[in-house]
Structure 1
């Protein structure tokens, strides 16, 4: 959206200076265009008074202004052209009145919004500000000079470095209906959300804005508190349309209802809030007005039913029983006091997904006052009740009263016996319906369903007062014609206490009648017994639970850890150091699990860093075998590992004469017996000098021997240095 500056939009004042009382209502919208370079539609739906509105006030374009909510800073504006104009229809087109005609006009434009330009966490809002409202409005002061401001909040387009996609709610075209004095009236003001967000509705005072009769079309201004209309004395949000039942809105559906007390033209507004995961992300206002007229008195139709063998009419606390040999049809009466009135009758089965009944005939026109029609309700084969559960038939008679049809509803509860369909059977591979189970021990069996008529069957299971999945039971729903079966498996968990009885109902349904299946159930009772449990044991491959290791004396410490359980339960092996972490110390041991037995090796190749300057150090390691059954028994063995430095060793007595003549005898000065390194006293280097002090040999690597075959005979000196001590000596070379 292009940035705007006030100098650019001041010129717009001169474009639409015509003012008239024409605005009936409307709302703004913003919808996402996925997979398009122009990623959003922004626009306005406006309702225009087709009778009293000045045609010059029907703008060819509208200017919609966008602001940042945090500080009301202007972000940009959009000029949206008119794309559609159509007459608003009535719920019943024959009920139109000459004083009420409305156009629905839609303005819209596609734009490219850069998401990074709309990243403020508090979001944004857009407005359209225009004068003037319908001058004959009853419930506000100075209606002809009252402006209309439509308002819409939307969230940032980017959150947590990701695009935040959202569209404002969508609303169907409103009807141009009117209400009648002292008659209930219902008006659907609800919408839907493409993102699946939830919507909440509440009545508010409509916004006035900053436009007026002198300045009917002005640039939008940012504000946190826009001016609102002024109600006349005695009117508030609690009785915007006063009467026996003042105007109210269902907060969840947006359905408006009112029983008005006097004629007039009443303006109102509904705020629609948009929530995602319980957090409010958007809001908009919808304005409209409702005309209340003094209608001719009209009475609704009346439905009556007299059950067979009864002298009184049916009341809705009765259940009608129809036996299998009784007629399939029964008679219902509908009457209407108005002459030349078309009356239609519709019906549905409330607690069935299919009706399985018909109405003959379904409508008639009255020719005299209180004319009466007798029609039949005919039940089909699949209209059958099971387990004494009646089916509720809802019959609705509707006439052609204005502005909306008047109705009467009759609910008939019917229990009808089955006549031709044989019941299926359900069984199990168990020898009894009572199964004794033990915590941790698997239970398996097969459930069967069978139908003598070879109808399609569905087999399912359900826990009484518990969820099978939550309890760890596995039993998937299965379907097949004539015969069906499914496996049941369960390992009773630890919370299945001794003495508990859990009941699972296995149900097979005959699906011949879709929407009204015939069910047959069989319970299986699981009785939880005491779970015997012997503790596991843990041991090592060491001859005794203690290991002494001299640093540098070998390849480290290794042994195996073994866990075993006499009950063949699932067990686990783990290890823990006393005051230290095995992994931080460089010890290698993998926690493992298995059934009955499990083995895991231990290894450690320690170095001097573990000694912390001491000559000897102890480490205690617990090896734990845990029985993972419900009793959770365990066993622990502790291994002591003792680390020692190799101790101070004296320098050996070196020979003072060598004869490097190649005879293989005393040819070399042997250093293999130099002391072994300690943690705090290590070999550093070795140097040999001639008698004049010149260095003829040097090594930082511990040597095995020195064989001087390329030097002359004479007297030589050598120095062996360690971290804390050194050794000096003389050597004669004879050749």
Structure 2
């Protein structure tokens, strides 16, 4: 039967020596195609099965495959590319003796290449084909004519990437890896060819005739079956091969030794429409096995070495060892879910994941029918369903606290770890963290305390921006003083009393010690770099000084300001004219005219304050504040000094009850002698009033009478 190729991807193996030189033949294989997240990108996989029987140098198997894409519509080549072999592994058989008898030893080569298939190009409704060809097949094949000149042709059909103007995403069915198996004559045999589909499409299975050539017209030519054989009896026997269309399981009973090639077709349907297919070529040996006399092997565990098990639970992250009795002339092959496990050829198997396990026991000396153990169902033990948050790395700024939280339940027990070490005393569903490390939590239930579930999270302490902030030091109080704030880098925020823009107003903060902080958020980490400085505002020296004083012209006056710490303070009066010592705290001034003197006081911290006093000539008389009329000749009379041109002055003296004790019209002539009605008054305080009615001048005050 011939099929016209509408579009093909043509691949050929690159090899520098003739195929017969090392007897390494491609005996089967299949394509796979996986859609990648980025539109138009696909991972193309090619799995090839090599017959390495009789080859001394297995590494001579091909390592690259040159491929090209050809258009279906016009046959033109769209692109060329080369696939590279990623792995090369032996195919696992359950009984090496029987395989050797069938003269079959198989290895698997895995080729892979990521391609961009332009959606604007791959839009033909008919779809496309991936094609691999290789010459030639194994001479040992029993069911086709002239196998040594028959090519191997492997195909995969995929749909248009763009359909009706929209993207059509699809991944092909995946066959997975087949078991290395053999068929015993007259013994029922099953072979699993089930595939999986990442898109959930419907899969339908059938057996088809292998292709034997791709001719010059790009048409497929099928192999010619050996005499008496055909698609209905690919492998001769009382029960020819039948493929379950839903599961891909091939069942048969064979009666003739040989090596038999066959092709399984899996078609992919979406919404009832076929959108693609994958063909797998494979071959199996039929051997004359002796009747097995081996007993069914029981399977034990390390916890029940004397009692066979058929079902057990496996905790998450745990393992269990299955074992069977050891016999020197037995061969062993363990399976999981009916698939041979590579390297699992001893009497024991370390199990780390759930599944259906069994061991196949056969003779290590002769090819005899094997004996399967009962299946041991390893189930995942029910475990707490937990979620650790945050689900991603927890990033903390320096000096910050963070919290890890796991699912909370009254039936759960918790144990926290940091870098693999138990954190003592932490048995709740939350953990407060302050330092970097790898944290994990182990959660168990009361029913299964030996089945913990663990979750991990990483905590990073992120460095904030490094901030420099110049010291502020000490400043003296000033109504207009401004302290500049100098930082690096700029762009942050100042926090503190009196802060305005990039400075501090001294008047607003007042005397005392104040803190000013600078905070800068790192845009990369979100952490805030912070520096704090202290600003000390020192008080000014306190000065108590009258603002003015009346004096008589030519009178010597001593200025007497009051300060807190005169010993440690410096004084400076200005102007210096008329002063006996401008640096004295109490200088004497000879008053010749009205004048204002300013005092500047500087304390030990260098802070300075000032006050001023104005000396004013008085137009009234000058009267002392005390006199002593005791008859000793010193200050016996209240002497009045006239300061100005007054034709007359009236003087009134009163006691504390307001009684007039003395009156004189021309007071500056005689004044008072301290008597009342010719008797001395008592010592004490008396009030006086002196006035010039003519000029409207009046002065009142108090004076002391002393004895």
TM range (shorter): 0.3 to 0.5
- TM-score, length-normalised on structure 1? 0.39
Larger radius of gyration: 2
- TM-score, length-normalised on structure 2? 0.41
